[in-house]
Structures are given as C-alpha cells and as structure tokens.
C-alpha cells in the first residue's frame, strides 16, 4: 500500500493502483477537479471528505491522512511518550536511543512524528552534555522548520539552541538567538507556560551580571512576576508508578490505555519541570548586581527551596545557596552570607564545579569585611579553582568570574603576586576552549 509523500500522493497512488479515474473516485459527491486539486496538493480534504475517499480507496482514514495505519501510529505515539519519560525521569542516553529508533521506523511515512522524535533526540543529546551534536541536530531542525512550519515549531528550537550555545561558551550566538526568540514570543504575546518559562531562563542566563536593563531582562522579570517560583512537590513515585503501568498495558497490547497512562505520567512531571525552570530563571536574575535586593531575596529564597527537594538538583541547590549568600553580602548581612556559604560547602561532596570555590570566596569576603584573616579561605578557593583546569570541565564563565574575584580579594590583602596570577587565570578561563570544538555552525540567525 503506497504510504510515501503527501496526502495527495497517497490519494493518487491508491487511485492508480485500483485503476480508478478521478471522476470515478469523485463519484456523485465530489467533482473530479476537486480530486485533482487534492492530488496536486492544492487542497487538503476535510475530515468528512477524507473518510469518503478512504472508503472508496479501500484504506483507513488514518492511513490516508498520516501515511500509517492506526495501530502503527498509536505504537509510535506510545514510543514517543516513553522516550520522553526516559528523558525527563530516566536515562538521557536510553532516551536518545529510543528517539533514534522511532526516527528510523517512522522515516518519511509520518513527517510530524518523525520531527517530534528528532527534536526529542536533540534534547537527549543536550541532556547528556553532548553539546556539539545537540547543536548540529537543533540547527538542522531549525532550517527544516523554516521550510516546513506545519511539522516543526521554530521557537522551541531557537530557545534550545540559545541554551546550548550559552553552555558551550558562545555567549554572542546565545544572545542573538535569545533575542530572535524574544521577538517571536512578543509578537505572539507568549508570557506564560512552558515556552515562556524556558525563554525567560535562557534570556536571563545570557545576560551580563552587570547589565542594568534590557528588553530581555524585562521579559524575564515579567514571566517571574506572573508566576513566581511555585513550591515543588516530589511526585516521582507517582510518575514511576504511572510509567510502569503504561509499560504493562503496552505489554498486554492495550496501546490506547498505555498512551493514556504515559500522558498522565508526563503531565504529573510537567508542574515540577516548570517550577524548576522558573527557579533557574530566578537564580540567574538574582545573580544580577543590579537586581533590587528585596526582590532578589524573595526569588532566590524560593529557588533554594525548589532545588532542595530533589537529589538530582543538589548541584543547583548549592549554586543557588551561593547566589543567596551574595545577595546577603549586597544587603550587608555578613553573618547570613557566611551561614549560607557553609551550607553550600556541605553539599559539595565531590568538590566539582565552582560552588565549593565560590563558598570559600564568600567566606573570605566575610572575613575581610569583618577585619579577620581570609588566608585559609583564599588558599582553599585557589586550590579548588586549579582543579577546574582539568579538560573534563572545559572553559567556563563562572570559573573566570571566580578567578577574577579571587584576584580582587588578594588585592584587598595586598598580595600582588597572587593577585596578578589570579587575573591571568581569569583571562585564560574566559578565553579559548570550547565545549563544541571542531563543530562549525552557520552563525547567522535565520528569522
């Protein structure tokens, strides 16, 4: 049974296989010219006409409209949902494999499902930290979205690309993409929901901490003001139970029920995902030196509580505690800043990332402001930052900022040689290595 191409291709292929003329297919209900327009792709049949044509061509309406049979389609839909659950609540590597299997199986028979699977695979690559491959996949999908807007939405792709470039260290490209996404969101008046939340997070993450005001920050604050950072409830047990029930229903060949249960599991996790994304936006916004202290205090406090709920967000919990400590420093609450830094140190068991170094930098600042000795904390921060030179961590804006701050603190103690060395390390960290080494991407932002 022909299945490739458009609806018109399938209508024509089936008609010719059955040796019918356009007039015979049209029958008494339609005109042969209308059938000709459908076959040429100039008209899309209504649901009523599609059912009528399917009856005369001896196929299902589902096949005529989508190119696959109902059972085949529902199995693909179920596969997409289970891959999404694996991405959100399981292993991103397994999710990538499952999305890839769907792409291979669906091929061009259903362009919409194939596009969804390819988008899922790109997100799974990003979740694994394979940024170069993720960027290539997102860029390819974005080019296709320009040519086939009925299959792919450009806005989620642009947001994802901005996030990937930001994490890979290409801040200029990230900001360009974020600005393009903002323009589209404002044109469509998107200020709430998943897309708005994701966009707010990338907009504020891509901004300089010294930035005073911009349309990007205004939009991010608008999204945060609309919802705040909701309290996070751990529904992982419920999600797992629904996921397992869906798998059991699929094994029993009750595909429709399996899809329903998978949808319930995905929706159960959506609220938490949005809350954590809002917490990320709040954390990055509170990091801005120009953020009003009262507002920053409220937002970062809520973000700290959100990240504290899940073991998987322990690293972000520690990062948010440091941001909170810095807000306390701006407010002149030295004791509060020190307490938060000590808690953050307690969370950094593997001593990876910049959080433990930043905690010692906060404690050194507190010691200097109180007229005490900061030498121990400065030495600890220096040693921790040295470990970030290992290639596994790559170059990092936070590391550059930490080296610069360490240099400033050495300067307050008039330790000139260590100060100069720290500034040199800041320049090196800000510079040259990239998480996407060897990947060449067109730098223009298509509209």
Instruction: Record the pTM.
Output: 0.77
* Other beta carbons less than 10 A from residue 187's beta carbon: 8
Mean predicted confidence (pLDDT) in 318-336: 96
pLDDT (average), residues 19-37: 90
Cα–Cα distance, 121 to 127 (Å, whole number): 10
Please give the pLDDT value at position 107.
54
* Residue 415: Cβ-neighbour burial (10 angstroms; 0-12, 13-18, 19+): middle
Cα–Cα distance for residue pair 21/37, rounded to 1 Å? 14
401-444 pLDDT, tens per residue?
Answer: 899 999 999 999 888 999 999 999 988 887 644 444 444 444 33
What is the location of CATH 1.25.40.10 in the chain?
Answer: 70-213
Q: Who's near 313: CB < 8 A, 6+ residues apart? A: 276, 306, 307
Q: Under CATH, what is the fold of the domain 70-213?
A: 1.25.40
Question: Angle 250-251-253 (CA atoms, 0-180°, nearest 5)?
Answer: 60
Q: What pLDDT was estimated at residue 70?
A: 60
pLDDT in tens, 115-173: 899 999 999 999 999 999 999 999 999 998 888 887 788 999 999 999 999 888 888 89
What average pLDDT is seen over the chain?
87
3-state percent breakdown (helix, strand, coil) of the chain, nearest 5: 75, 0, 25
Q: Under CATH, domain 7-66 is a member of which superfamily? A: lambda repressor-like DNA-binding domains (1.10.260.40)
In the chain, residues under CATH classification 1.10.260.40 are: 7-66
- Overall average pLDDT of the 271-275 stretch: 93
pLDDT on residue 389? 52
Average pLDDT over residues 216-241: 92
- Kindly list the distances between the CA atom of residue 371 and the CA atoms of 334, 341, 412, in Å, as whole numbers in the listed order: 12, 18, 11
Residues 6+ apart with CB under 8 A from 35: 11, 22, 25, 26
Q: How much is the pLDDT for 245?
A: 97
């Amino acid at each position: 049974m022909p299945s490739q191409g458009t609806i018109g291709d399938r209508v024509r292929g089936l008609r010719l296989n059955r040796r019918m003329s356009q007039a015979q297919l049209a029958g008494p209900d339609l005109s042969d010219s209308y059938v000709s327009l459908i076959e040429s792709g100039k008209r899309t049949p209504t649901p009523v006409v599609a059912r009528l044509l399917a009856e005369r061509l001896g196929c299902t309406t589902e096949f005529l409209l989508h190119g696959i049979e109902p059972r085949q389609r529902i199995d693909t839909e179920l596969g997409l949902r289970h891959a999404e659950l694996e991405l959100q609540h399981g292993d991103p590597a397994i999710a990538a494999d499952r999305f890839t299997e769907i792409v291979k199986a669906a091929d061009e028979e259903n362009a919409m499902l194939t596009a969804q699977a390819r988008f899922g695979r790109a997100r799974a690559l990003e979740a694994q930290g394979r940024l170069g491959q993720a960027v290539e996949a997102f860029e390819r999908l974005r080019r296709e979205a320009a040519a086939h807007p009925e299959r792919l939405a450009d806005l989620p792709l642009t947001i994802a690309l901005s996030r990937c470039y930001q994490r890979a260290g290409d801040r200029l490209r990230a900001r360009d993409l974020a600005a393009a996404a903002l323009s589209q969101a404002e044109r469509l008046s998107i200020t709430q929901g998943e897309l708005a939340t994701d966009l707010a997070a990338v907009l504020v993450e891509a901004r300089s901490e010294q930035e005073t005001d911009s349309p990007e920050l205004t939009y991010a604050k608008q999204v945060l003001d609309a919802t705040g950072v909701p309290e996070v409830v751990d529904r992982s047990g419920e999600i797992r139970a629904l996921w397992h029930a869906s798998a059991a229903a699929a094994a029993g060949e009750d595909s429709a029920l399996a899809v329903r249960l998978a949808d319930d599991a995905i929706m159960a996790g959506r609220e938490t995902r949005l809350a954590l994304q809002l917490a990320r936006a709040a954390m990055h916004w509170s990091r801005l030196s120009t953020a009003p202290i009262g507002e920053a205090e409220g937002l970062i406090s809520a973000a700290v509580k959100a990240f504290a709920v899940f073991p998987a967000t322990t690293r972000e919990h520690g990062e948010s505690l440091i941001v909170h400590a810095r807000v306390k420093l701006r407010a002149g609450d030295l004791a509060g800043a020190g307490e938060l830094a000590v808690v953050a140190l307690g969370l950094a068991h593997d001593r990876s990332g910049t959080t433990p170094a930043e905690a010692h930098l906060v404690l050194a600042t507190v010691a200097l402001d109180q007229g005490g000795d900061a030498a121990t904390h400065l030495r600890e921060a220096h040693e921790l930052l040295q470990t970030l030179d290992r290639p596994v961590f790559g170059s990092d804006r936070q590391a550059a900022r930490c080296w610069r701050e360490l240099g400033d603190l050495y300067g307050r103690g008039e330790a000139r040689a260590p100060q100069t060395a720290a500034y040199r390390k800041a320049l090196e960290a800000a510079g040259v290595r990239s998480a996407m080494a060897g990947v060449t991407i067109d730098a223009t932002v298509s509209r």
